[in-house]
Amino acid sequence: MAFINENYTKLPGSYLFSDIAKKVNEFKAAHPEANVIRLGIGDVTKPLPSAIINAMHAAVDEMADASTFRGYGPEQGYDFLVNTIVENDYKARGLDISADEIFVSDGSKSDTGNIGDILGLDNIVAVTDPVYPVYVDTNVMSGRAGELQANGKWNKLVYIPCTSENDFVPSLPTEKVDIVYLCYPNNPTGTTLTKDQLKVWVDYALQNKVLILFDGAYKEFITESDVPHSIYEIEGAREVAIEFRSFSKTAGFTGTRCAYTVVPKTVMGYTKTGEKVSYNKLWNRRHTTKFNGVPYIIQRAAEACFSAEGKKQIKDIIDYYMNNAKIIREGLTSEGLQVYGGVNSPYIWVKTPKGMTSWGFFDYLLNDLHVVGTPGVGFGPSGEGYLRLTAFGTLENTKEAVSRLKKISI
């Protein structure tokens, strides 16, 4: 008899975005004439820049020639990409990150979920609330979350509310925690922490031997000078933080899949007897055992993101999306709605009008205005009463969606 991992049976029936897709598909089947504009799931719409496409074509040609063909590559990533990341994302900012602290992967979603493989099951995990669902669901799968309560919280997780009441700045936990997930610029709220606000967390982690899992997938969207692009800009973070980075939203790699995780050799975990163990060593063992590496063609494409031409083309795309964010933010604000984010992030976090629930507002927008958002409660209990919109649509659809949203009559 083969037994299952019963933690999976504790998960809600489906993933948040699957629920949304089901509702939208049912609506479209019933109303085939409706022009539905999707501002819900954060997938990009602009094609890959020419610098990236050209690099991919060149790499494909290499794979067709016996003298340049490549089979298995290093699981941690090819030197040409890893060294380019070191030079452009860290040394250029005066940060001391070495090549053997970087691990190239197929996505931050994968890595933020898989990182739990090297973490003990007895750790007490804290998450900001609302939160990217993967952080919670993967801890449920591993058994760290406990049981789902009637209030929407898992009884073994520590929730740190981030709402308009506290300006979306998470307070330090009052109870003991061992691991905390931080995502800035934040998904889903689109808000950020300043360097001083992030330093509070690094200092706390240093004092309490807490591991920070820092998701920086949206760092290229930052526009304000006091918002850190990396947690390692904060003194002491190399001792307590693992950082996740992605090419998905910044360079349009949602369909080509490339990301990387930084695990400094100075970040230590502990055995039950108090012995220090390098997380870098453990992650390297896990990575090389369970992952065969990102394809050579894709890594050449990622390398091209850092070329002069690639940087310019990517900036143009990010500017395009951030202009969409400005249109959404200003359009909804002009209608008297409370709107957050959209300044350092492609996400806009909207307070639902007149006390509507998140799903109630979602249903209203879909059925009456044919616009799709993401219900805030799907990101956690503190997301109730909010809705997330994304700036990843086309300019034309963004303008049309905002014109429809201006017709809200509740």
Known binding site: residues?
15, 42, 72, 108-109, 132, 187, 218, 246-248, 257, 292, 388
What's 216's DSSP letter?
-
Ordered alpha helix ranges (H), 66-183: 79-85, 108-114, 133-142
Contact residues for 143 (Cβ-Cβ < 8 A; gap 6+): 7, 121
As annotated, the binding site for substrate includes 15, 42, 109, 132, 187, 292, 388
Contact residues for 80 (Cβ-Cβ < 8 A; gap 6+): 299, 300, 303
Among candidates 19, 26, 13, which has minimal Cα distance to 359? 19
Pairing of strands 347-351, 339-341: antiparallel
Phi, psi of 125 (to 5 degrees): -105, 135
Pairing of strands 386-390, 374-375: antiparallel
Is the Cβ–Cβ distance between 236 and 202 less than 8 Å? yes
Among candidates 310, 392, 335, which has minimal Cα distance to 54? 310
Report how far residue 244's alpha carbon sits from residue 107's, in angstroms, rounded to the nearest whole number. 9
Two structure tokens written together for 407? 């017709």
Among candidates 307, 302, 305, which has minimal Cα distance to 78? 302
The residues with which 246 forms a beta bridge, in sequence order, are 259
As annotated, the binding site for pyridoxal 5'-phosphate includes 72, 108-109, 132, 187, 218, 246-248, 257, 292
Report how far apart the first and last C-alpha atoms of the chain are (Å, whole number): 56
Two structure tokens written together for 254? 């949602």
> What is the Cβ-side half-sphere exposure of residue 83, based on CA atoms within 13 angstroms?
3
Residue environment code for 135-159, b if the CB has 16+ CB neighbours within 10 A, otherwise e: bbbbbbbbebbeeeeeeebbeebbb
